[in-house]
Structure 1
Amino acid sequence: MDRVTSVETSTDTPHVVICTTGGTITASTVPGGAVVAGDSAAATQAMLEGLRSALPASIRVSARAVLDADSSTFGPAEWDGLVDAVADVLVDPEVAGVVVAHGTDTLEETVMALDLHHSDPRPVAVTGAQLPADHPESDGPANLLDAVLLAADPVSRGLGVLVVLGRAILQARGVRKWHTTEPVAFARNAPDQPVEGLPPELERPTLPGRARFSGTRVDVVSCPPGSDAVALRACVDAGARGLVLEGTGSGNLPPLVAEAVADLAVERPDIVVATSTRVPRGEATPTYSGPGGGADLARRGVLSCGYLRSSQARVLLAALLSLTEDGAGAASVRAQWSRYHLYS
């Protein structure tokens, strides 16, 4: 992270840089009603003009095009590009904060990738929209205004990457999209009460180096009741270095999947396995004994995802694996895991 500076910035005329990536916030509607997220240069310019007319004169904004697509097409390569782009913007000590305009479909993965790397105190606010730019009730302009004001505010320093949508402000870790169409599109899965120690907003350690998501295969496998291990084995055969298994309850697995995980622990200890849950809220923990129970899985080296759900757990596991060498790094990843996931 040698391109990131922690130099204090001037608060007299804060400069906020908006990194655009396409998405619904700059999308348009074609005849027939389909929404097209792409070719958004004109929409971005209109968005900037409207934003400047609403902002205080003391705040300066500029835009940098990073990507231009529907975020449902994003993956590890795009996470790498966005981490690089944000770090590049923050090389300039005159920048007070960064806004990333992003589609909502994969926003939860992107903010996790950014937050794991973001040790700079200046805020990064990630926003988007549920309605396209040409909709008469588009929520994009209001979301963008809120994000810029937040990024320009010195009070936001040190809080890491923030999701700003529908008047809600959420820290990155534990965030997930909870509604397909409502303006308040995201919620954060976290304890109802703060854990002991540091305030929750400060418990966000960053990685010791630059992870590279491209080339590090981690797969998410849904494991509903009665499922077998066909999908799991296919992912292993395809070269996965890590697996996030989405189970039931607090992270429990069906018998046939648990049996395959036990075999994998013996045959392929270089593959790191973590269990999440299909339950929207609460913690995945190694609580229950017996085949497929979290406690039994933990004894075989399987990790629990805690308050992270499978989308963000996948990003974290890929990041940690990318910082280690094949095979020998599995033990290191298991040892580091609880440091980085939420409220371990």
Structure 2
Amino acid sequence: MNSAETSTDVPHVVICTTGGTITASTATDGAVVAGDSDAVTEAMLDELRAVLPGGVRVSARPVLDGDSSTFGPAEWDLLVAAVTDVLADPSVTGVVISHGTDSLEESAIALDLHHSDPRPVALTGAQLPADHPEADGPANLLDAVLLAADPVSRGLGVLVVLGRAILQARGVRKWHTTDPVAFARNSPEQPVEDLPPELERPVLDGRARFADVRVDVVACPPGSDAAALRACVDAGARGLVLEGSGSGNLPPLVADAVAELTDDRPDIVVVAGTRVPRGEATATYGGRGGGAELASRGVVPAGYLRSGQARVLLAALLSVAEAGVTASDDERAATATAVRRQWSRYHLYS
């Protein structure tokens, strides 16, 4: 995404629409289903213009129209391209993306990894459909537009705005299925006075092509074996995110398979995360399957990212690192080594 100098004299916020609950409606059987997104968006725009401060201009750009649980690498590529295109216009002050909440955390980090422009990009959505008597979408959209139009938001990267909460993209995850405050951020617990005035937020050196790289998430609960891991490798995974327990520890049978994999396939990057909602996955424990033992074999601790965002970051790093690389084993192994070294720089703000 470019770094165009922009004028903020007349704030202009572009809303990129992708569907989701914010434009959905309730069927006669009680199920929430996609509705006429264009019509709902136009109605929301009319409501916005009636309450926005004078001088704030909004326009809409349809990008996708679906339940975000159906989104994946191809949709992340499309969103990155759409936001890049919108920000090519220097008259745009900021971007809002209305998005389903199911995969919002993946889209947020995919965008943030590319976003070097100081202008804000805010993702928002809803927990209740548009026709609900207490629909939260209009208020969330208003908050996101006001944030995107405000100069104070410049330089903060991609933000998630829902239920009056404002969260930076890396480390964010959906924490509740129905609560209006749908998202929380897993990050280092630092006293406010210790935070730097400007957080370092490194972006990728090139454009990732998510659809070109397969990265799989494998749940590894206590007592599990390596059948799922081996199936993902056989399917062509270039990276694996293993969701273990504790601070990133794996069951013995999975750990044995990982040991074999790191010896036989050094071109595959393995990241060890955790099912625990808060805190950091680290190389702490020794022994069979412990994080320290895994790290000694080249397995990367996921840090503060959980499996969804870790998958996106790993795919992005592999895609950029492999640009122009041939399919030779030696080159792919060298690329994998480079990705392992880069991980800690990108996984969360330093």
TM-score per shorter chain, which class? Answer: over 0.9
1:340 paired with 2:346, answer yes
1:189 paired with 2:195, answer no
Matches within 5 A, 1:234-273: 234-273=231-270
Task: Find 2:59's aligned residue among 53, 62, 84.
Answer: 62
Matches within 5 A, 1:149-298: 149-193=146-190, 199=196, 202-298=199-295
5+ residue gaps, structure 1? none
Partner Cα distance (2:172, 2:236) in 1: 28
* 1:30 partner letter: A
1:88 paired with 2:81, answer no
Partner Cα distance (2:80, 2:187) in 1: 24
Partner Cα distance (2:308, 2:35) in 1: 24
Partner Cα distance (1:112, 1:46) in 2: 29
Q: Cα–Cα, structure 1 residues 38 and 315, in superposed 2: closer, same or farther, change >3 Å? A: farther
* 1:332 partner letter: A
**Paired residues, what number?**
341
Partner Cα distance (1:38, 1:136) in 2: 16
- Is the Cα contact below 8 Å between 2:201 and 2:349 reproduced in 1? no
**Cα deviation 1:77-118 (Å, max 9, x = unaligned):** 000000000010000101000000000000000000000000
- Is the Cα contact below 8 Å between 1:229 and 1:256 reproduced in 2? yes
Q: Cα–Cα, structure 1 residues 197 and 238, in superposed 2: closer, same or farther, change >3 Å? A: farther
**Cα deviation 1:249-289 (Å, max 9, x = unaligned):** 00000000000000001110100000010000000000000
1:98 paired with 2:95, answer yes
Matches within 5 A, 1:323-334: 323-325=320-322, 327=332, 328-334=334-340
Moved over 6 A (4+): 195-198
Residue 201 (structure 1) shift: 5.7
Partner Cα distance (1:286, 1:150) in 2: 38
Residue 196 (structure 1) shift: 11
Partner Cα distance (1:265, 1:204) in 2: 30
Residue 194 (structure 1) shift: 5.5
Residue 39 (structure 1) shift: 3.5
* 1:8 partner letter: T
Task: Find 2:76's aligned residue among 66, 79, 86.
Answer: 79
Residue 335 (structure 1) shift: 1.3
**Cα deviation 1:162-201 (Å, max 9, x = unaligned):** 0000000000000000000010000000111169987286
* 1:273 partner letter: V
Residue 202 (structure 1) shift: 1.6
1:18 paired with 2:24, answer no
Partner Cα distance (2:72, 2:309) in 1: 12
- Is the Cα contact below 8 Å between 1:38 and 1:70 reproduced in 2? no
Partner Cα distance (1:150, 1:122) in 2: 11
- Is the Cα contact below 8 Å between 1:306 and 1:343 reproduced in 2? no
Partner Cα distance (1:130, 1:278) in 2: 24
1:5 aligns with 3
* 2:100 partner letter: G
- Is the Cα contact below 8 Å between 2:97 and 2:124 reproduced in 1? yes
Q: Cα–Cα, structure 1 residues 309 and 73, in superposed 2: closer, same or farther, change >3 Å? A: same
1:41 paired with 2:38, answer yes
Query: TM-score normalised to the size of structure 2?
Result: 0.95
Residue 54 (structure 1) shift: 1.0
Q: Cα–Cα, structure 1 residues 168 and 273, in superposed 2: closer, same or farther, change >3 Å? A: same
- Is the Cα contact below 8 Å between 1:228 and 1:257 reproduced in 2? yes
Partner Cα distance (1:195, 1:234) in 2: 45
Q: Cα–Cα, structure 1 residues 242 and 289, in superposed 2: closer, same or farther, change >3 Å? A: same
Q: What secondary structure does 1:68 align onto? A: coil
* 2:234 partner letter: D
Partner Cα distance (2:26, 2:163) in 1: 21
